[in-house]
Structure 1
Amino acid sequence: MYKQKLPIILASKSPRRQELMTLMGLNFKVVLKEVDESYPSELLPTEIAVYIAEKKADAFIEDRSSNIVITADTIVSYNNEILGKPDDAVHAAEMLSKLSGTNHQVYTGVSIAYGDQLKSFYDITEVFFNVLTKEQIAYYIENYNPLDKAGAYGIQDWIGFIAVEKIIGSYTNVMGLPTEKLYKALSEF
């Protein structure tokens, strides 16, 4: 069982990650820093997610002397195309139309840092979508906030209840933080 001995910083503005960390029983504070999330074009999706999580951890070098810093990055991959956060409602509709009636992968890279120690890992979940109508996509975009989510959707939102036919892998990974792997990694850190 993980017994928290050091303060934890969660370097994420994601309310879903914050909720999951709270549900895990962790005491943490949220600290945000601007990080360039670009990556080399030759990286694979698993490498991209970890690369960006580690870039975020590097921004917290000074904080890591007395805190455990947890960073994460989630990406959606459809037919080898990375679907990040949409630029606007039109872009969100394009992404959701692509995902409609197909399957895609959700990758989350996580880094845990303390001092000069850095442990990084990733998780992959396969998500299968039912066919979505244009009206359903428009309703979701108008009533929820797809602009802050990779792939333009949140599995915990309304669309997750009507679009997701099944998943293979971790549900919390699709939310943005594979809690099962995070708990194990913290226990071993």
Structure 2
Amino acid sequence: MNLESMIYLASASPRRRELLRQLGIEYEALPSNLLEVRHMDELPADYVTRVARDKARFVAGLVKERELPAHPVLGADTEVVLDGEILGKPRDRAHGVETLRRLAGRTHEVLSAVCVIFRGTEHAALSTSRVTFAALTETEIAQYWETGEPRDKAGAYAIQGRAAAFVVRLEGSYSGVMGLPLHETAGILKTIGAK
């Protein structure tokens, strides 16, 4: 097995695992579990890129510390941004419902960053997508929350799930909105010689 034939995924996200499988990429998940805190005055794009890089760096350190085989390490982060504000994952029902109310009938951005570390070199890319939601009724929002789908998702929705029915328009990367921009990821892996 070549060193480049598999990667370490610095994430526990089932969506990122699904997307890597879609590309036929072998991986071992080594979640970073880092506390994600935005710095004062840090722009959303800078924040998402830094978090992806920090996750990759943390897991690269674990690989070295545990003396694991030297495979590329992939870190990623995805955030939903409305009016320059990162909406994050819902803290509870009230926060989730309010987030969905804010997104209803409007266009927001989804920033998805990926960072791959291999042989001491970092490669990073950022995908920016624009998603427009239809107007939503209070009943639709409440019913969607009750499905459980929005609870651990940035912006309180999953485009690959029931929230697909809310999307009027998507400009950009569908996989990026899901959590890992595959075009950018494949480009980086090609650059480092991954099979």
Using the size of structure 1 for normalisation, the TM-score is 0.93
Give the Cα–Cα distance (whole angstroms) in 1 for the partners of residues 90 and 142 of structure 2.
14
Matched ranges for 1:22-171 at <5 A:
22-60=21-59, 61-63=61-63, 66-160=70-164, 162-171=165-174
Q: Deviations over 1:142-187 (max 9, x none)?
A: 1132121100000011122x21001111111100110011101110
Give the Cα–Cα distance (whole angstroms) in 2 for the partners of residues 4 and 169 of structure 1.
32
Count of residue pairs the alignment pairs up:
186
Cα RMSD, aligned residues only: 1.5
Out of 146-155 and 109-118, give the one that drifted further. 109-118
**Following TM superposition, where does structure 1 have runs of at least 4 consecutive aligned residues deviating by more than 2 angstroms?**
3-7
Q: Is the 8 A contact 2:116 2:122 kept in 1?
A: yes
For 1:185, the aligned partner's letter is I
Give the Cα–Cα distance (whole angstroms) in 2 for the partners of residues 62 and 176 of structure 1.
23
For 2:51, the aligned partner's letter is I
For 2:14, the aligned partner's letter is P
Identity of aligned residues (%): 34
- CA drift at 1:4: 7.5
Q: Is the 8 A contact 1:95 1:152 kept in 2?
A: yes
Secondary structure of the residue that 1:33 maps to in structure 2?
coil
Give the Cα–Cα distance (whole angstroms) in 1 for the partners of residues 114 and 151 of structure 2.
22
Secondary structure of the residue that 1:187 maps to in structure 2?
helix
For 2:179, the aligned partner's letter is G
Out of 59-68 and 34-43, give the one that drifted further. 59-68
Q: Is the 8 A contact 2:4 2:72 kept in 1?
A: no
